[in-house]
Amino acid sequence: MLFYEPLRNPFMCDLAKKFWIGASQISGTSLNTPTEKAMMARYFGGGGGTYRLSPAEWDAAVRYYDTHRYKTGDASVLDDTKFPIASGGYRQGVAFAKYDDEPLDGLLGSATGYFDRDKNLVGLRDTFDFDGAPRGTGYPIPFLRRTANALAGKAVNLVQKDADAFCPGGSRPVRIRGENRR
């Protein structure tokens, strides 16, 4: 890590943040809302911690799920596996980056959704950490989808390395929580 030490400063950190925000616009998962950009800054700045979705963001998540919940096959935003939970509901992966220009695509990406017995979305958990989770690329041809997912996985790994190399304090994941507050 000594090699990186001269580059670890606020200027280089800001430059890396701006580069990855720009690159995300090309990749299909855009950081196009103030919250998404703030989350990127918080991640790069080593802030970490927990972020609670605002009521408007929660409503957007529920609208997204309600809009896309009945799509099947490659169009589905839900993982194939449901995991039962003590309340009688279940948890299941939800791909918020599956469709372009969604308001939460860069914030949640792929999140864990919590559902009641009636299949209503009642909670969300995610970590803003640029992990290697599969990306929800909407390419209809399997080869293109696999290739795009592989490239996206490599890119998120580079984001982690850049944050650790250029930013004082390194990167810290941000836990994201959301629930129905009504």
Q: Could you read off the pLDDT of 14-49 as tens digits, one per residue?
A: 787 777 766 665 555 556 677 877 787 777 767 788
pTM: 0.70
Q: What is the DSSP string of 6-58?
A: GG-SHHHHHHHHHHHHHHHHHHT----SHHHHHHHHHHHTT--SEEEPPHHHH
Determine how many CB atoms are found less than 10 A away from the CB of residue 22.
Answer: 12
List beta partners, residue 93: 112
Candidate ranges 43-57, 125-139, 148-162; pick with highest mean pLDDT: 43-57
